[in-house]
Structures are given as C-alpha cells and as structure tokens.
Amino acid sequence: MPQRPKPRKRREAFGALRQRASGRYQASYVDPQGNRQFAPHTFDNMTDARAWLRRQRIALDDGTWTDPQTPRTGHTFREYATEWLDTRVNRRGEHLRPRTRVEYERLIDGPLEDLGALTLKGISPDRVRRWYTDQIASGRQTQTARAYSLLKSVLSTALQDGLISSNPCMIRGAANASSGRKITPPTSAELNAIANAITPRYKAAVMLAAWAALRYGELTELRRKDIRTVGDDDPTLVVSIERAVTHTTGRGYIVGATKSAAGVRAVSIPPHVNGIIEEHLSRYTAPGAESLLFPASDGVTHLAESSFVKHWYPSRAAAGRADLPFHALRHYGATKFAQTGATLKEIQERLGHSTVVAAMKYQHAAGRDAELARLMSELEKT
C-alpha cells in the first residue's frame, strides 16, 4: 500500500509559528528594520499565537507599532513580572515548572500585590523596606521570604534589561527568614500507630514515604514497574524514583521530572517493610506495569492530597500527632538513614538532594544502599 504523503506545513501569511518541545507555540515576525521580534511569551495553542501575530500586523499597518526592545519606563511591576514568568529559564534552559509558576503567581497576586501597580523605577529601596516590614509584621515570615526572593529575582532581570539602574532589594537575609516552626518527625511508635490506624490501602504509602523518604508527588506517581527485586541470595526491594506528579489549578495533574536532576534515584527498602509492600502489590495494585501504586478511588487517576488527608488526619490523630504534616515522614526516613552511619553523599543521594557542586544524576553505590537499608531495620529491633 503506497504511503500517503505527509501534509505540508502551513506557511503563515505574516510571521512564523514554531511548536516548542513543551508543546506550546512560539510566535515571531520580522519588523521594518529587519529584526526578528518574538512574542513576550509562548501560547497554549496556534489560535492564540496567530491572534497575537494579527495584532502585530495591524499595528504595523496603521502606524501604531513600537519596537518592543525600546525600554518602557512606565512598565509596572505586575506587567513585567507576568512577562518574566513566561520567559524565565534555569541554567539548563528549562522553563518554570507548573507548580513553581502557580506559586509565583500566588505571590504576585498576594504579598506582592501592593507593589504591582508601581512602575519598575518607582520601586525604591525605601519602598521595599516598608513593604517588607509590613509583611513581616503580619506573622507570615516564610511567605514573606519567598515573596522577597521572587521580587529580587524579577528586578535583577529588569536590571539586566536596562529598565532600572540598580536593584532596590538590599535587605540582608530577607530571603532566608522563616517562621521558626520546626517539623518534629514521628517516633517509631508513632509511625507504627499511624500505619496501623490508616485505611489499609494506604498503609504501604505511609511506610514508603517514611522508610524510603519520598515526597508526596514522587510517592503518588509510583507505578508497579517502579518496584523491583534485586539480588538472589539476599533479595532487596528497590523503588525507582524517576518521575513526580504535580497538580495545578486549571491544568490538572501533570507528570514530569522530579524536583531536581538529583531526584532521579533508586532507593533500597529496609527489609522489615518488604512484606507490607508485597501485600499492597498483591491486594491493592492493579495488574500491569503502568498501574499506579496509590491511585484515587477510581483506580486509575492520581490521588489528590485533598482526598488523602481524609485518611491521614484521623490516623495521625490516633497516634497522638495531630500536628504532623505528611512531609514529616520524609524527615523520619532521613533521620533513620543518618543514624546508620551513612555518609553525607549517601544521604543526599537517597533523598534526591542536589549538592552545592552540581545537580547530580543519582548513581547507585552498589550494595552499600541495601546494606544501610538493612541497618535501618536493625534499629527497629533495638
């Protein structure tokens, strides 16, 4: 049967469109001076991208077009910060991850709202200090630190763009403020009480989060294919963390990379937990390599935190730890692993933390991680 010819790529009447690896569309055109001008952000679909090109064409035709490279001294912080979100990339050329973007948008609409209507040049060091003082007085130290860090980053880019002459964010240590609230991990007795009190199909989730020190997004993206047995004489269950899931308003669940490059790792499960995991796979996980270990009630979609906490809150209360956030289980696993005598590098690898030297790709130290996992079980016997 003869192959059908590939459809020819549509040529735009004005400008050009290009689909990025992310699936979003980039629009550009050549201005009267022969310079290619790109849209200040990418688009969800071709319709929106073409609409932007049409507006540029109309502006060129009726003489209202201005060079977007010309510094706009009247640019407000909100306008510039919104464009910054669309164009911000890390050192690997990656755009903001969905959950990070949602968090930044929340900060811009929330604690940074009072600065939003000011022009970039209108944000003075004195104005930043007064804003910071008011925010700290509200008692939200951690949120204020995050908002200040975002403000400083946005204005650093504005400085590079020549829109301001200096960065007004000069408060030493402002990005490091915290509420001082310390997360106290559960004791072994409290962990076991939680595991025994929680709905049975989530018992393995509690034990994996604790003994493998997993983040919630890593845990709820685990699939049957991610659990394997290593070794013949003394078999060890190993969980591979290669992906994570996030949920953002308007976009739903997004499966993507782990929090950092170092987050891709293989973690040996302490032997005393093996039976719980194996029972879970047998009783609660559907057949098939792609089946989620901890799905929602429909058995196929991801488990929302808002649904999980309905089981988590009663179980932690039953253990006498109504204050305990789920993330404290990860702290528990990190503490237990450190008590085995693991080196700093081994701890960083097991937790998926990036080092100060580079964002490391996890390299499994053959046999050593399994040995330390067994020592974690030994601690339970003492």
Q: Which helix (H) or strand (E) holds 27?
A: strand 25-30
Catalytic one of 24, 41, 101, 353: 353
* The two structure tokens encoding residue 313: 């809150």
Catalytic one of 99, 146, 215, 316: 215
Unique residue bearing structure tokens 């429909």: 298
Please name which of 184, 116, 188, 196 lies closest in space to residue 327, comparing C-alpha atoms.
Answer: 184
Bridge partner residues of 238 (DSSP): 228, 268
Q: Where are the alpha helices (DSSP H) in 38-187?
A: 46-62, 77-87, 98-109, 113-116, 125-137, 141-160
Instruction: Find how far residue 164's CA is from the centre of its chain.
Output: 30
Catalytic one of 330, 331, 332, 350: 330
362 neighbors 260 (Cβ within 8 angstroms): no
* The two structure tokens encoding residue 173: 């240590």
What backbone phi and psi angles, to 5 degrees, belong to 76? -80, 160
230 neighbors 224 (Cβ within 8 angstroms): no
327 catalytically annotated: yes
215 catalytically annotated: yes
Instruction: Find how far residue 134's CA is from the centre of its chain.
Output: 29
Q: CA distances (Å), 141 to each of 46, 106, 132, 264, in order?
A: 42, 16, 10, 31
362 catalytically annotated: yes
330 catalytically annotated: yes
What backbone phi and psi angles, to 5 degrees, belong to 380? -70, -20
Residues in the chain: 382
Bridge partner residues of 119 (DSSP): 76
Order of strands across the sheet that contains 25-30: 16-19, 25-30, 36-38
CB burial of residue 352 (10 Å; 0-12, 13-18, 19+): buried
* The two structure tokens encoding residue 206: 């509690």
Active site members: 215, 327, 330, 353, 362
